[in-house]
A = this chain, B = another copy of it.
């Protein structure tokens, strides 16, 4: 009667391979950017055959999702934490910007990877595991934006949620557009801030209504 461990030799070997693959992808993507790395290189670095690699991930994009999800989740955490500190003192726009700031930094830390990540998030199959994980984080973030909007502007929950969705769209397009690729982080933040200011009433600087 051999013990029936859920952690048999096989399971351990698989877990190990999965680790090696994510580690290899993380390192290579960080060094060369997602489209400067071939799946073969990742497989070599992880010391598995390409066939094996594709038993663990369905597609190269999924690898990008896996790697970026971690960074993204962390950025969302930091945004929510720092925003809650600023919530009572700052203006609505500034609190929202505090929330966005780490996410902007995360995406632009390695622009090539960040843009692919955002694109895959909206364009890819939401049913796929890692995509779903990323969408969950995005949703967590959007909800945080919604609650800030609601608290700081007194908007109805419904309207606040929609405003948060608009903020997501603004951030997505601004960070994805090739036109803004050369811009500095400071400029990007200003472009986003200007748009958020128009969206949120009571903001200083760019009210939509003239009077």
**Is A178 an interface position by the 8 A CB rule?**
yes
A211 within 8 A of B: yes
9 pairs, CB–CB < 8 Å, chain A vs chain B: A122-B176, A123-B176, A125-B178, A159-B206, A159-B207, A159-B208, A160-B208, A163-B198, A172-B172
Q: Does A58 contact B (CB under 8 A)?
A: no
Complex Cα distance, B178 from A125, in Å, reads 7
Mask of A129-152 contacts with B, CB within 8 angstroms, 1/0: 000000000000000000001000
A151-196 contacts to B, CB under 8 A, are: 153-156, 158-160, 162-163, 165-166, 168-170, 172-174, 176-179, 194-195
Question: Is the CB–CB distance between A201 and B209 below 8 Å?
Answer: yes
A118 to chain B, nearest CB (A): 10
List of B residues within 8 angstroms of A163 by Cβ:
198, 208
- Neighbouring B residues of A170 by C-beta, 8 Å: 166, 169
The answer on a CB contact under 8 Å between A195 and B166 is yes
How many whole Å from A161's CB to the nearest CB in chain B? 9
A1 at the interface (CB under 8 A from B): no
Cβ of B198 and Cβ of A201 under 8 Å apart?
Answer: no
The 6 closest A-B pairs by CB, nearest first: A169-B173, A169-B169, A162-B198, A154-B210, A122-B177, A159-B208
Question: Across the interface, which residues of B come within 8 angstroms of A194, CB to CB?
Answer: 162
Known: A173-B172, A198-B163, A199-B166. A209 touches B154 (CB 8 A): yes
Quote the shortest CB–CB distance from A150 to chain B (angstroms). Answer: 9
A119 interfacial by beta-carbon distance below 8 Å: yes
Q: Shortest Cβ distance from A58 into chain B, in angstroms? A: 15
When C-beta atoms are compared, the residue in chain B nearest to A170 turns out to be: B169
Task: Give the chain B neighbours of A195 by CB distance below 8 A.
Answer: 162, 165-166, 169
